[in-house]
Each structure stands twice: as C-alpha cells, then as structure tokens.
Amino acid sequence: MAEESGVRGCMVIKPWGYGIWERIQRLMDDRIKAAGVENCYFPLFIPIGYFAKEAEHVEGFAKEMAVVTHHRLIAGEGGALVPDPEAKLEEPLIVRPTSETVIGAAMARWIQSWRDLPMLTNQWANVVRWEMRTRMFLRTSEFLWQEGHTAHTDREGAMEEMLRALELYRSFAEAELAMPVIAGEKPENERFPGAVSTYSIEAMMQDGKALQAGTSHYLGTGFSKAAGIQYQDKDGAQQFCHTTSWGASTRLIGGLIMTHGDDDGMRVPPQVAPHQVVILPMLRDNDEDEALLAYCDEIRCTLVAQHACGERVRVLVDKRPGKATQKRWAWVKKGAPLILEIGGRDAAAGQVTTLRRDRLWNEQGKPNFSASARDKFVALAAAELEDIQTSLFKEAKARHDANIVRGIDSLDALSDFYAEDKHYPGWVELAWSRPMGDELEAVVKQLKELKLTVRNTPMGSKPVAGTCIFTGKPAVELIYVARAY
Amino acid sequence: MAEESGVRGCMVIKPWGYGIWERIQRLMDDRIKAAGVENCYFPLFIPIGYFAKEAEHVEGFAKEMAVVTHHRLIAGEGGALVPDPEAKLEEPLIVRPTSETVIGAAMARWIQSWRDLPMLTNQWANVVRWEMRTRMFLRTSEFLWQEGHTAHTDREGAMEEMLRALELYRSFAEAELAMPVIAGEKPENERFPGAVSTYSIEAMMQDGKALQAGTSHYLGTGFSKAAGIQYQDKDGAQQFCHTTSWGASTRLIGGLIMTHGDDDGMRVPPQVAPHQVVILPMLRDNDEDEALLAYCDEIRCTLVAQHACGERVRVLVDKRPGKATQKRWAWVKKGAPLILEIGGRDAAAGQVTTLRRDRLWNEQGKPNFSASARDKFVALAAAELEDIQTSLFKEAKARHDANIVRGIDSLDALSDFYAEDKHYPGWVELAWSRPMGDELEAVVKQLKELKLTVRNTPMGSKPVAGTCIFTGKPAVELIYVARAY
C-alpha cells in the first residue's frame, strides 16, 4: 500500500493504497458537500509571521515545521547543488502544518455581515509536521487530509456544526470503513491548542490500542479575535465569529489496516476498495486464452452494470502475465473483497470459482473456493459485497465490544489490568469526576506512568454514580482509558 | 475564482474556482483511469541530491525552487520566530517542481521484468516553481496538476502512450472545456529538457495569444538510464525502459477564463460548472417565502433526477439573504450556465424565469429573461445545458478558426502582420523546413524579435509545398506561429 520514500517520514503511497484514499476522499467529500460545505484551496507556504501570535499565546504550539529559506539552487564547491546565498528569502516560509492561520485571514477578508454566515469551508491538501518518530500512515511528516473551517454568528451554530462534523466522522468510519468508533469529548488536557472543546472519534485497533481517527473542535471566539474574523450583526454592531475546525487524514488508512488486516494481509471493506471484484483469468498462452478473456470480460460487463452499496460495482480483470496462484495471493494480500479465478473449464461450463477475502480458509485449512453457475453468482454478487461490508463491521464491532472492560474500581486494579504480562488488554470504561487544571494534570501523570491516556467521554453518556478512582470525588461521566497510537 | 494569498505567487482558490478544478480533475481522472493508468502519491520533498544528475546533464534545468533547510522554529531576538540553527537539515530538501525524479526512482524499484510493463502511473499533486513574474492561474509559484509517468518495453509502446495522452488532452479540452485546441509536436527548441520529442495542445485566447494547455513527452531511454529503470526481457537480457511523461494543470482554468469570459465576467461550460443551474428565490422576508422555497426545491429535485452530458444535473438553490438582483449579477459574474429567478408570482403561476449565461442580453440591450411554464422548462433543461456547452464551443471555434491566418510568404510580411498597431492578430500558419540545431536557433532569434514563438506542428499535417520563409529551403511541414502566455 505504501513504502518508504528515502525522505525521512515521507511515504510513497502505491496504487492500491492511494486508490483506498481516493475512495475515502470521494465518499467523505460527498458527505461534506451534502452538508453545504464548500471546498477551497490555500497556499502551501505560510509566512513565518503568521505563526508569531500563535506562538506567543498558545501553549503547546508545535514548532516542528519545515522551513523554506531559499528559492534557488546553485552549483557549489565540487559541483554539488547548494541553496544560492543570493536567493535567500527575506522572510522564511513555513510549509503548512495546517492552513488554520491562512484560512482565518481569508475569512477575515470574506466575512463582513451576518448575511455571510455561516461560512463553511473545507480544504483537501497535504500538510507537513516534522515528526521525530514516524510510522507508515499513522504518523508521517507529510500526510494528506481534509480540514474543515467554519464561522458562525453564535456559539449554538458553531457547536451544532462541530457536532455535525463529529457525527460525519463517526458514521463514515462505521458505514464506509467498517471500523467501529467511539465519538466523544476529549478531556481538557487533550484539547487542540486554543480550542474551547475538542471531540474525537476513537477506534480500537486489533492490539487493543486506541487510534484517534478524526477530531472536531469548537474554538469559541478566541481564534476569531486572533485572526480578526468579525461580522456586522443585524443591529449594525461588530461581533466576533464563533469558529470550528475539524480534520481527518490518511491516518484513516492506518486504522483500516489495523482493524481489518489478518495473517494473510489486508482485508479492504468493499465500500473503500478500489476494485471490489478482481477476476483472474487462468491464461495458458494458448488458443483458448481468447475465449477465456471474452468470458471474463462478459462477467465484468454484467457486474459493472449492477449497483452495490449505492454505486456501480468496481471490477478489474487482471490480465497481466504471471502465474494465477501468484496473482491470487497478491490480491489476497492487498485485500480485494472478492476474487474470481476462472479457467478454461469454468468458461466452458458457464461457471465461476470465487474466494471471499473475509472467509479465506475452510475448516480443512484450505482456500475456501466456492464454485457456482455464472448466472447465479452474478445475480448475488452485489448482495455478497454488501454482506462482506457488514461482516467486516460485525467482526470488528464484536472485538471492540469484547475488549472494553468495565467494573475496575481502583487505581490499583487499573494498574494490574494493564500489567506487563497481560496481552491486548483493550480499553477500560471508567466513571470519573471530570477533573480540570492541576487536578487533571495529576491524573494525567498517574495514567502516563501506566502508559495510558484518557481517550474521550462518549457522546450521550448517561449520568453516572460512584466515585472517581483518581480524585475520590463523586463521578460525573464516563471515560475510556487506553494505550494509544 | 481566486485571489492573492499574501505569499508571492501563491493563490487562494475560492469555492467557485476550486469547484471548477474539482470538475476538471474528476472528468480527466475518469479518462486517465479508463486508459488503465493508476494513481499514486509521492513525497512533497525531494533530497537535493536527486537533482544533481539532472543539473549536470540537462541543459535548461530550472534551478528556481523552494529549498527547505530547517525543521524547527525558535524564538529569536525580540521574540520573533526564526529557523532554529540547531535544527538545520544535513541535506536540504527541495519542494517538488515535478515528481519526475522520485517517480523514476520508484519505477527503478518496481520494474524487474517485461511482465511489469507497461507501467502506467499518474499523480495529482501541488508543485512549486519559483516564478519571478506570476499571473493568476497562468503562472503561479504553486500550482495543482497531474503528472503521468509511464514506462514501456519499446519506443513504439511509449510513443503510442504519449500520443494517447495528447489525444486525451485534446478531446478533454474540446469536449469538457469547450476550448478548441491544436494538438501537435513542439519544435526542438521547445522540448522538455531531456525529451526526445514534446507534443502539446495549444489554445487560442481571446486576445489572439496562444496558451500551451497540456504537454506530452516521449523521453526515449535517456531518463531510464539516468534513473536506472531496467527490465529483463523475454530472453533474460537487461534493457532500459522507454518512458513518457505528460501533464496538465490549474493553468487550464486560466485558459477557460480567457476563452469564455466576456464583459460581464466568466461563462463556465456546463461540463465543468460546479452548479449548472442556480435557482434564485426572490425572498421577501414574509409569509410567502416558505411556499416559494418549496417551489424552488421541487424544481431542484426534478432537475437533479435528470442527466445532462451523461451525469446528473447539478443544481443550487441560493437561499442566502440578500437582494435578488445582486445575487443574480454575482452568479452572472461567476458564469453559472443557467440562472433561474423565481418570485412569488412565478410560483403561483407554475412558471420559471430563466437567463442563459451565454445569451445574456437581448437585442434591446436588456437581460435576456425568458419565461416559461415550469414543466416545459424542466423537460428541456438538460438539452439546454448541452446546447450551452455546444454553443460555447462553436463560438470559441469560430473565433479560433477566423484568427488563423494563412498565406504569409515572407519574414517581412510576418513582421508587418504582427506590427505594433495591429490588434489581436491571432496565429499565423506557415510552412517551414523544420530547421534543427543552430539553424533553428537563428529562426527562434528572428521570431523572438517579433515577440513570437513556434507553437507546434499540427498532428496529421499533410505534406506541404513551397519554401520556408526562415531558411529559404523547401518547406516540409506546417507550423503555428503566435504570441504566447
């Protein structure tokens, strides 16, 4: 799906991996557009001065960024290329870590009156954050993402939008990625710098660790004040906008891999699979190949005329030279949902041999091939793809639910639960007193010693009884505690 | 559509402009995928060393690039942020001007055998070339583009692919952008550095200047030799691949503006219009608004269920507060193909009032409104959109054809034709002897004095008779000479 590029922390995303990203992008973009949000594009480079205010006021401001200082190369000593000292920029440029600041400046220009609100903006782009420790798809110096930025007249409108984005991420993750998640509010210490509140979706990976897979922030008027985003209200008075921002990235592909991968490689849910059905004609370099290819192509044509999950079925006939079994295992490893192997005899008999990626092995430990009449297969293919989508979700959901532990009622019990000799211990659901400030810092420190973090407080969490195991005060809400990526 | 960003040469692409780019991207990407090309993503940063070989060997190698030298900011004197001297990169990184070199390195890793060929790769990305003089959409330091890179066993396969890409650009420009172009081969001096041959599509702007709107290169084996792209042939021998590359960019939007714009703003061809029909309800802030909005929404629903140009009709009901006439002119300026103004009386009478953006004024110099029964309008709307697409092309094609001049038979006549006092002189079609090397340089110099360039030799150009006006030798082919962006 991807490989190291030779530039530290930057990856080459190969066709299958990028195809998954394209599917994610298209499906998520459809939802974003349906919500009335408009896409724009902002510059890659941001003048260093844009960050000055943020650096002064925002604690936790990340300074690890790629800095452009020159605009020309020149042959240096020994002929090697070096930055031309004559072409030094007066003001260095930063490669965007997010476009927050420039989008804020644009909104300040674009918004004059209440009539211009809400302003709902989104960008799909590459961003760069210089990471010391990188991990393919999960933490890379360059990554691809979308960042939504919206401005509203009041808190209510902004909160509604922020929660709409969170719900978009939640339902997208579950419906399209077949990845169960918990949507909820992050604790104060995990808020985006400058945010009034930060919400996230958290997915459980197969090793029990949590992955933050999307975030949505309500920024109050703090960001508007810094960027000068003002509007004239109906009474003619100048007011600051309430803003939100929300983002999801290629990290979702990392989540997908660690949710659905198995010993044989990846299993891609049909909704985001670049090809849902891969047909492998068992070519023999003889006279029969032509008829075989015609037969395969006929199946392809019948399939692509059908709809699965509301879209046309995506089918590839893999005609490349090579041994059929090698090609089969390559597609198994990539995780194509449905693999068809078709030989001359199948073609003659009007049959197909299929392999469902999510049910790869039979009870005898052999590849779980299933032969059926072509017409019957074709009639059921769309339903089968939808069934694979559902099955993958169910499997992940069962694991997710089974690995959330309740009833831990002391810090010692928590410590014991996550002791070194326990494997894949999953998440712990606790009730806590929602500490803030110094009190929260103390809790965070205790958790850190156990290599744990608070993930979030789930949406719609009912009032809870009992005592907070950290503070000893009455508990007020649920949280999830977990190890995390 | 776009505005200056505050970073020299980088633009902010606003929703309507970016929406056009999204349409271009989707339609072109569908064609690219249909041709069996796979999308990948390569890193934004390229180690400086990758350019060393190119800089040595390739004349015309452009050195104006953005150079990243540091990976962290720190508070300097007076608190201003500066690059942290402790965080200087050992080897500077270049922000990709194209991904040619890294894609070449990847192909060298990915290709082993003839079985891996052809390898057909494409990337959609932002690239940066430090431009001294910039112009919105036409020449910007950062721009968005696609770059196709393909590798083949032999010259024949590579040439076929290169011409396929050229034809893709030609038919895309004419069918989707309604922009007539001439596809053909560039003269030797205009070749991409290192290319064996370079082809382009050239569009004529309303001022008669030429715009190179897409290029396709056959690179021979030179690039493979530099990057080490080798394959084992059927006899087991190592061979170098024949490669191609081809690209088109946000420059196409510049071409679109200068092809279809008029005194009232932009006219966007329906194929690439983010909204093809914009419905403006004439809201009055009273009790009737609700019924009016319901009427408008009903029309929207009926329209989006229809297909125009093979896709669902794209409709926006613009409900934002504001005066209807102001909103009308805003959409006229943006160039929405079909604008509907609907008041309470229209709703009551089951009518619509429409304005075709390409036929904005009637003979009396008034906005060319046309009233019709809703059902009749709805039944004809898709056909009307297709008619707008065709009309815009016909209009541009007529202008294009009328501004190509033939019969100029001497350098003096050419000089006179392009004399200062002549306006919008268009292009000149000439027969020349296809000079090369020094002889070509002399011709280029002569043309440069007239601010002219050779655009290309049109595809399928028949053998010609006569004498080359530059060299006095027998002419062998046609060329177009023009001023250019």
Q: Is A94 on the interface with B (CB under 8 A)?
A: yes
Predicted pLDDT of residue B56: 66
User: Is A73 an 8 Å CB contact of chain B?
Assistant: yes
Looking up tokens 């071409």 gives B255
Contacts of B322 in chain A (CB under 8 A): 115
Residues A288, A247: one domain? no
Question: Has the ipTM of the complex gone over 0.90?
Answer: yes
A206 and A143 together in one domain = yes
Give the confidence band of A80 by pLDDT, cuts at 50, 70, 90.
confident
Domain boundary among the residues B195, B229, B260 is at: B260
* CB-CB under 8 Å, B126 with A68: no
* Same-domain check for residues B141 and B247: yes
| Interior angle at CA B313, CA A164 and CA A147, nearest 5 | 30
| B88 → chain A, closest CA residue | A67
Residue B117 sits in the same domain as residue B172: yes
Residues of B in contact with A44 (CB under 8 A): 10, 95, 126, 128, 142
pLDDT at residue B327 in the model:
94
Per mean pLDDT, which range of A179-188, B44-53, B343-352 is the poorest?
Answer: B44-53
Six token digits for residue A387:
């069934």
* pTM, full prediction: 0.96
Residues A212 and A295 in one domain: no
% of chain B beyond a pLDDT of 70: 98
Question: Which residues of chain B have a CB within 8 Å of the CB of A320?
Answer: 115
Q: Does pLDDT of B403 surpass 60?
A: yes
B282 Cβ contact list (under 8 Å, min separation 6): B292, B324, B341, B342, B343, B344
Residue-by-residue DSSP string for B100-133: HHHHHHHHHHH--BGGG-SEEEEEEEEEE---SS
pLDDT score for A61: 60
Within this chain, do residues A124 and A28 fall inside the same structural domain, yes or no? Answer: yes
Mean pLDDT (whole number) for A74-87: 85
Q: B207 lies in a domain?
A: yes
Given B387, B417, B440, the domain boundary residue is B387
Q: What is the pLDDT of residue A468?
A: 96
- pLDDT surpassing 90 at residue A151: yes
Please give the pLDDT value at position B134: 87
Pair (A247, A304) in one structural domain: no
In a domain, B16, yes or no: yes
CATH code of the domain in which B241 resides: 3.30.930.10
Chain B CB within 8 Å of residue A19 CB: yes
On the question of pLDDT at A40 being above 70, the answer is yes
| Residue B468, domain CATH | 3.30.110.30
Closest partner residue to A126 (CB to CB) among B67, B75, B126 is B126
Question: For the residues of B395-462, what is the DSSP string, one character each?
Answer: HHHHHHHHTEE----SHHHHHHHT-TT-----EEEEEE----HHHHHHHHHHHHHTT-EE--EETTPP
Interchain proximity B12–A38, CB inside 8 Å = no
Q: For position A286, which CATH number holds?
A: 3.40.50.800
What's the mean pLDDT when you consider all of chain A?
94
Mean pLDDT, rounded, for A88-108: 95
**Cα(A364)–Cα(A471) distance, rounded to whole angstroms?**
54
Mutate to test the interface with B, among A28, A41, A72, A82 (most CBs of B within 10 A): A41
Q: Check CB contact of B71 with chain A, cutoff 8 Å.
A: yes
Length of chain B: 485
Number of domains in chain A: 3
The helix/strand/coil state of A423 is coil
- Which helix (H) or strand (E) segment is B298 a member of? helix B289-304
B41/A21 touch (CB, cutoff 8 Å), yes or no: yes
Tell me, yes or no, whether A435 and A309 share the same domain: no
| Contact between residue A381 and residue A370 where contact means Cβ atoms under 8 Å apart | no
Mean pLDDT is lowest, of A17-26, A76-85, A102-111, for A76-85
Round to whole Å and give the CA distance between B172 and A73.
36
The pLDDT score that the predictor gives to residue A56 is: 66
Assigned domain for A223 exists: yes
- Residue A455 counted as domain residue: yes
In a domain, A86, yes or no: no
DSSP secondary structure code for residue A461 in this structure? P
Give the closest of B42, B56, B74 to A12, CB-based. Answer: B42
Q: Do B63 and A55 touch (CB under 8 A)?
A: no
Burial grade of B280 (CB within 10 A; 0-12, 13-18, 19 or more): buried
Distance separating alpha carbons of residues B23 and B314, to the nearest angstrom: 11
Beta strands in B131-255 (DSSP E): 142-152, 181-185, 197-204, 210-218, 230-232, 238-240, 242-249
Domain membership flag for residue A303:
yes
CB–CB contact A5 B48 (8 Å): no
Verify whether the Cβ–Cβ distance A41 to B128 is below 8 Å: no
Which residues of chain A does B70 touch, with a Cβ-Cβ cutoff of 8 Å?
66-67, 69, 92
Question: B293: number of CA atoms within 13 Å, CB side?
Answer: 12
Chain B nearest-CA distance from A465, in A, is: 47
| pLDDT tens, position by position, B306-321 | 999 999 999 999 999 8
Q: Which residues of A touch B59 (CB under 8 A)?
A: none
Chain A residues touching residue B48 (CB < 8 angstroms): 73, 81-82
Over residues A355-374, the pLDDT tens digits come to 999 999 999 999 999 999 99
Do residue B126 and residue A48 have CB atoms under 8 angstroms apart? no
Contact status, residue B96 vs residue B127, Cβ threshold 8 Å = yes
- Report which of B71, B143, B74 is spatially closest to residue A128, judged by C-alpha positions: B71
Domain membership of residue B346 as a residue range: 270-387
Among A228, A260, A292, the domain boundary falls at A260
Residues B285 and B348 grouped into a single domain = yes
User: Which tens digits make up the pLDDT trace of A275-331?
Assistant: 999 999 999 888 889 999 999 999 999 999 999 999 999 999 999 988 889 999 999
Query: Quick check: is A244 in a domain?
Result: yes
Interface contact flag, B52 A81, Cβ < 8 Å: yes
- A436 located within any domain: yes
pLDDT-derived band at B60, boundaries 50, 70, 90? low
Clarify whether residues B467 and B376 are in a common domain: no
Using CA atoms, how far apart are residues B295 and B253, in angstroms rounded to an integer? 35
Which amino acid, one-letter code, is at A345?
Answer: R
Q: How far apart are CA B222 and CA B98, in angstroms?
A: 17
pLDDT single digits (tens) B112-130: 999 999 999 999 999 999 8
Q: How close does chain B come to A66, measured CA to CA in Å? A: 4
Q: Are residues A16 and A137 in the same domain?
A: yes
Contact state of B7 with A83 under an 8 Å Cβ cutoff: no
- Tell me: do B255 and B192 sit in the same domain: yes
pLDDT tens-digit readout, B160-185: 999 999 999 999 999 999 999 999 99
Please indicate whether, in this complex, the C-beta atoms of B73 and A51 are within 8 angstroms of each other: yes
pLDDT at B61: 60
Q: How many helices (H) and strands (E) does chain A have?
A: 12, 28
Q: Which of B100, B84, B128, B52 is nearest to A66 (CA)?
A: B84
